[in-house]
């Protein structure tokens, strides 16, 4: 049975599970299709077919909270792989560290999501005793699509190399008795929110957590901001001492040391806070990171007014204080008893930008109310809005009454 067939079987088990089962923890195998980057061929760019080979990652006996959907689920068997299965299979024990969001990885196929998984060689931060240096180390980066969690794990091989001749020489991997690479996970760094949207002036919490094997020491936590080609340090923690470079930036030292929670808190967001935040965790042996993209948004304020002119009344829809730049403005005209009709003969002012970075623009429309008058509506759509803002006004026929603005 191939990996796709194994996942399909798991999905069928999920669909037939009882909804009323008692929730409890259960150890299951998480199986992921990955790419293994060949040593010396990956230089920081995107992985291509020329520098990577297909691989399979089996996270063995990962604790998952079972709501009854895992009933009948069996452990993964290496012998069930089809002949066209990936060239390399990694088996990873998770006894030493926690693997958060394992359920998201396990259910990705059934949730119609994808897991991007890349494995590459890892080089230690510090030289250790010779017995440690004989091990081979790998780092695996896993990302669930659709804004799902991102997990990075560092794995070390178990035992000495038993067979390096079965695979192509360029891979040079130590294989276990079943022809798989046997490893254990020694370190992980995770974020469950790789992309966030917050309104201007609000407070944000950027999630970043880690878990490490016994015997390792946490030495440094660093948060950096990258935006439009510029980088800066936001917050750093080193052996008990925290320092904020951005005013008000904090992390909880107790949660950091007790729960492995390195989340960063940012109050009173400005547009200067927008960008990619790098959460880098350094231990006595390892270093790994997660990237969280923070998007700061500002909702537009819309005001509709009517200016009487000699030839024709002009409607002005003023849209102010929004961010980011893209905004859509549409107009409709509705006569009494009729349906709204789109109006396209509009014009716009030049774009204006405030000192804090938000944008404003005005849309103009010459009103033609007709003999019975008409209601005009300005509709504004922006990414910061859950639904468009609509502002309407009734324009009286020439020489009759006043307009009435309805927000």
- Average pLDDT of span 328-348: 93
Would you place residue 20 in the very low, low, confident or very high pLDDT band (cuts 50, 70, 90)? very low
Q: How confident is the model at residue 9 (pLDDT cuts 50, 70, 90)?
A: very low
pLDDT: which is higher, 130 or 204 = 204
Among 43-47, 131-135, 206-210, 334-338, where is mean pLDDT lowest? 43-47
> Does 162 or 320 have the greater pLDDT score?
320
- Residue 369 is predicted with a pLDDT of 87
Going by C-alpha positions, the residue among 296, 277, 298, 153 that lies closest to residue 222 is 277
Q: What is the pLDDT of residue 322?
A: 98
State pLDDT tens for residues 270-328: 999 999 999 999 999 999 999 999 999 999 999 999 987 656 789 999 999 999 999 99
Q: Is the pLDDT of residue 407 over 70?
A: no
CA distance 321 to 201: 13
pLDDT band at 41 (very low <50, low <70, confident <90, very high): very low
Q: What is the pLDDT of residues 66-121, one digit of tens each?
A: 777 777 677 788 776 666 666 789 999 999 998 888 888 887 766 678 899 999 99
Which residue shows structure tokens 């669930």? 144
Query: Residue 21: its pLDDT value, please?
Result: 42
pLDDT tens digits along 213-266: 999 999 999 999 999 889 999 999 998 899 999 999 999 999 999 999 999 999
Mean pLDDT of 11-25: 50
pLDDT on residue 166 = 47
More confident residue, 29 or 199: 199
Band of residue 371 on the pLDDT scale cut at 50, 70, 90 = confident
How high is the pLDDT of residue 42? 39
Looking at residue 2, what is its pLDDT?
Answer: 44
Residue 133 confidence (pLDDT) above 70: no
Specify the range with the lowest mean pLDDT, choosing from 199-203, 367-371, 388-392: 367-371
Question: Which one is predicted more confidently, 286 or 400?
Answer: 286
| CA 91 distance to own-chain centroid | 26
Under the banding of pLDDT at 50, 70 and 90, the label for residue 52 is confident
Percent of the chain with pLDDT over 90: 57
- For the cut 70, the answer to whether the pLDDT of residue 35 exceeds it is yes
Contact by Cβ (8 Å): 191, 292 = yes
Which pLDDT band, with edges at 50, 70 and 90, does 10 fall under?
very low
Q: How confident is the model at residue 127 (pLDDT cuts 50, 70, 90)?
A: low
Confidence of residue 134 (pLDDT cuts 50, 70, 90): low
pLDDT at 208 exceeding the cut of 90:
yes
**Average of per-residue pLDDT across 148-162:** 82
Q: What is the pLDDT of residue 87?
A: 74
What pLDDT score does 355 carry? 95
Beta bridge partners of 296: 198
Determine what percent of the chain is predicted with pLDDT higher than 70.
Answer: 79
Q: What is the pLDDT of residue 406?
A: 46
pLDDT exceeds 80 at position 350? yes
């Amino acid at each position: 049975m191939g990996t796709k067939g194994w996942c399909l079987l798991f999905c069928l088990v999920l669909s037939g599970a009882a909804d009323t089962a008692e929730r409890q923890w259960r150890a299951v195998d998480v199986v992921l299709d990955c790419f293994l980057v060949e040593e010396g061929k990956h230089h920081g760019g995107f992985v291509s077919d020329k520098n990577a080979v297909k691989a399979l990652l089996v996270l063995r006996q990962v604790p998952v909270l079972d709501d009854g959907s895992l009933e009948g689920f069996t452990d993964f068997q290496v012998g069930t792989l089809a002949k066209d299965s990936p060239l390399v299979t990694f088996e990873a024990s998770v006894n030493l560290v926690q693997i958060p969001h394992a359920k998201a990885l396990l259910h990705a196929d059934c949730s119609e999501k994808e897991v991007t998984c890349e494995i590459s060689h890892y080089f230690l931060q510090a030289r250790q005793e010779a017995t440690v240096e004989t091990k081979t180390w790998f780092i695996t980066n896993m990302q669930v699509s659709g804004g799902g969690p991102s997990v990075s794990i560092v794995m070390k091989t178990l035992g000495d190399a038993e067979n390096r001749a079965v695979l192509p020489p360029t891979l040079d991997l130590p294989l276990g008795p079943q022809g798989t690479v046997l490893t254990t996970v020694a370190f992980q760094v995770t974020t469950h929110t790789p992309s966030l949207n917050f309104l201007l002036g609000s407070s944000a919490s950027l999630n970043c957590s880690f878990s490490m094997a016994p015997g390792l020491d946490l030495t440094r936590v660093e948060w950096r901001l990258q935006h439009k080609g510029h980088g800066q340090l936001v917050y750093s923690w080193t052996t008990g001492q925290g320092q904020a470079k951005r005013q008000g930036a904090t992390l909880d030292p107790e949660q950091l040391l007790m729960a492995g929670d390195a989340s960063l808190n940012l109050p009173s967001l400005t547009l200067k806070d927008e960008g990619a935040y790098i959460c880098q965790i350094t231990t006595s042996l390892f270093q790994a990171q997660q990237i969280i993209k923070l998007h700061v948004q500002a909702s537009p304020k819309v005001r509709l007014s009517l200016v009487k002119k000699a030839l024709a009344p002009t409607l002005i829809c003023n849209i102010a204080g929004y961010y980011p730049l893209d905004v859509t403005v549409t107009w409709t005209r509705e006569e009494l008893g009729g349906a709204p009709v789109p109006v396209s003969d509009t014009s716009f002012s030049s774009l204006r930008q405030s000192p804090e970075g938000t944008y404003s623009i005005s849309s103009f429309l010459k009103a033609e109310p007709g003999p019975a008058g008409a209601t005009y509506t300005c509709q504004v759509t922006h990414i910061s809005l859950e639904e468009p803002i609509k502002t309407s006004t009734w324009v009286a026929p020439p020489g009759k009454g006043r307009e009435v603005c309805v927000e």
